[in-house]
Amino acid sequence: MGCYRYKVNPKDVDFRGLMTVSALCDCVLQSAGEDADFGGFGVRNLQEHDATWVLSRLALETERVLGEHEEFSVTTWVESLDRIFTTRHHRVCDAKGDVVARATTQWSMINRTTRRLISLDWLGGCHTVDEKIGIERPAKLKPITDATSRETHAVRYSDIDFNGHTNTTRYFDWMFDMVELKRMEKGRVARLDANFLRESRYGDSVSLMMNTTECMDAFQTVLADNVIMSALVKWSLD
Amino acid sequence: MGCYRYKVNPKDVDFRGLMTVSALCDCVLQSAGEDADFGGFGVRNLQEHDATWVLSRLALETERVLGEHEEFSVTTWVESLDRIFTTRHHRVCDAKGDVVARATTQWSMINRTTRRLISLDWLGGCHTVDEKIGIERPAKLKPITDATSRETHAVRYSDIDFNGHTNTTRYFDWMFDMVELKRMEKGRVARLDANFLRESRYGDSVSLMMNTTECMDAFQTVLADNVIMSALVKWSLD
């Protein structure tokens, strides 16, 4: 297990002064990167093999939303590893040691040139920890059939990362930008499930769709008739 | 003088694996915030007086663009303070201690409710350091008369910060998203001047304009016929 420390910086909070889900997910993903680096199978190690990690699914549950300037830690471990996927858990604790969020991420490895999956067999020696995180695994989401709102977005310079594709957290920014401000004011994301199916790249024009109901919002990003990302948010409106 | 340490995280880099100007400016602004906190006149101290700092002008010159995972420091000090403006300098050094960028920021203080300027006289005791930074002060920019490209943007949840207005670095994101990718691939921002004249808020529809020439790009953001932000980028195309 690795434990990585972060702080809620001014750019990580929204108009309420509370940490955005995008910023929290970014730290969760960063903890995976730092822990993989520590284990010798990080993105920089994989570059020698022309390989990289891609996020396939994510689940996040929050108990409390962190505020600006708060310090927190993410403890992370790999629970399992099969031929195609590896499952990692993340426990987010505040400065008092109380759990404020839990997440599970599922990763696969691709060849950077062909963009095709690579078997994880050669990571056989990777250390796994047989400990659950206490939330359900990331769900496999169904496509949205009746969107209540739609927009289009052109993928731009600020959207793309070192892999040349849209950064994971940008999908979350696009999603929460579609939600009514009233819900963002009062709501807490009790649970978020996300599936990442394909990449989008610079210049792509993607369609963003949302289906909103009383305490749940479903989202999907579509590129050339293919769903490339989908997500489901369950709100706590207390 | 205060010295604050940062690291170039995965989300801070672009498709080249190099730190974006937005991310660098964010750290420059963060160093101002941390140093003001340390001096007892930070945003949290000002809240008791229903006041807050607003950035009025910025100048940035870069020598080298930092890469992912690099550690760096920002040394910052207040050089001068008059009734309305305070001028702060920022020296950005890499892990070897070499200067990679220099910046000057000019700030004023507003009442959070009326959004009007407040005299800085009561900060009389603020410690100033009579040391130059070695770059020209932020320029006062002229309006663009002939835009070579234009777009509109609706200000959304992910754009706004704790002050309820568009976050400074989002203006930079919008700007660099308008620049041709070829220029972003090869260019380094030799100098950036930016003027922040008015705020934009959630739901505002702003016009983004750019005028591009061989080695310079001028930008402005317009809201209801008023220029609210303008910037000039001088590129080094080596």
Contact B208, B147 (CB under 8 A): no
**Torsions phi, psi of A201, nearest 5?**
-130, 170
Tell me which residue of B32, B186, B16, B217 sits closest to B107, measured CA to CA: B32
CB contact under 8 Å between A162 and B14, yes or no, is: yes
Q: Which residues contact B225 (CB under 8 A, 6 or more apart)?
A: none
Chain B contact present for A72, CB below 8 A: no
Q: What is the mean pLDDT of residues A41-51?
A: 88
Packing angle, helices A168-178 and A21-39, rounded to 10: 170
Q: Per-residue pLDDT for chain B (238 aa), expressed as one digit of tens each? A: 999 999 999 999 999 999 999 999 999 999 999 999 998 889 888 888 899 999 999 999 999 999 999 999 999 999 999 889 999 999 999 999 999 999 999 999 999 899 899 998 877 767 899 999 999 999 999 999 899 999 999 999 999 998 889 999 999 999 999 999 999 999 999 999 999 999 999 999 999 999 999 999 999 999 999 999 999 999 998 7
**CA pair distance B237, B6, nearest whole angstrom:** 27
Q: Which residues pair with B107 in a beta bridge?
A: B55, B86
Chain A contact present for B152, CB below 8 A: no
Residue B6: CB atoms within 10 A of its CB come to 21
pLDDT of B125: 66
A with B: how many residue pairs have Cβ under 8 Å apart?
78
CB contact under 8 Å between A14 and B157, yes or no, is: yes
Tell me which residue of B120, B111, B119 sits closest to B78, measured CA to CA: B120
**Torsions phi, psi of A81, nearest 5?**
-150, 120
pLDDT of B15: 96
> What pLDDT digit, counting tens, does each position of A110-119 carry?
998 998 999 9
3-state secondary structure at position B136: coil
3-state secondary structure at position A16: coil
**Torsions phi, psi of B130, nearest 5?**
-85, 65
For the cut 70, the answer to whether the pLDDT of residue A219 exceeds it is yes
Contact A59, A193 (CB under 8 A): yes
Amino acid at A108: S
Contact A42, A33 (CB under 8 A): yes
> Using a CB-CB distance cutoff of 8 angstroms, which residues of chain B are in contact with residue A11?
26, 30, 161, 167, 169
**CA pair distance B112, B189, nearest whole angstrom:** 33
The residue count for chain A: 238
> What pLDDT digit, counting tens, does each position of B78-90 carry?
999 988 999 999 9
E strand or H helix that includes residue B3:
strand B2-7
**CA pair distance A100, A72, nearest whole angstrom:** 9
Contact A99, A84 (CB under 8 A): no
pLDDT of B127: 82
Contact A155, A165 (CB under 8 A): no
The pTM assigned to this predicted structure is 0.95
In terms of CA atoms, which chain A residue is nearest residue B21?
A: A158
Q: CA of A106, closest CA in chain B: separation in Å?
A: 19
3-state secondary structure at position B78: strand
In terms of CA atoms, which chain B residue is nearest residue A171?
A: B158
Q: CA of A161, closest CA in chain B: separation in Å?
A: 5
Chain B contact present for A22, CB below 8 A: yes
Please report, to the nearest 10 degrees, the dihedral formed by the alpha carbons of residues B123, B129, B131, B134 taken in order: -40
Amino acid at B64: R
Amino acid at A220: Q
In terms of CA atoms, which chain B residue is nearest residue A15?
A: B162
Tokens of A66: 């962190």
pLDDT of A238: 72
Contact A161, A167 (CB under 8 A): yes
Amino acid at A122: W
Share of chain A above pLDDT 90, in %: 86
**CA pair distance A128, A13, nearest whole angstrom:** 34
Which among A6, A7, A11, A19 is the top mutation candidate for probing chain B, defined by the most B β-carbons within 10 Å of its own β-carbon? A11
E strand or H helix that includes residue A193:
strand A188-196
CB contact under 8 Å between B161 and A33, yes or no, is: no
> What pLDDT digit, counting tens, does each position of B200-235 carry?
999 999 999 999 999 999 999 999 999 999 999 999
For residue B15, give the nearest of A68, A164, A177 by CB distance. A164
CB contact under 8 Å between A158 and B173, yes or no, is: yes
Q: Which residues contact A40 (CB under 8 A, 6 or more apart)?
A: none
pLDDT of B47: 87
ipTM over 0.90: yes
For residue A33, give the nearest of B10, B22, B202 by CB distance. B10
**CA pair distance A194, A174, nearest whole angstrom:** 13
Per-residue pLDDT band at A163 (split at 50, 70, 90): confident
Which among A8, A30, A161, A182 is the top mutation candidate for probing chain B, defined by the most B β-carbons within 10 Å of its own β-carbon? A161
pLDDT of A125: 66
**CA pair distance A5, A7, nearest whole angstrom:** 7
Q: With b meaning 16 or more CB within 10 Å and e meaning fewer, what string describes B63-92?
A: eebbebbbebbbbbbbbebeeeebbbbbbb
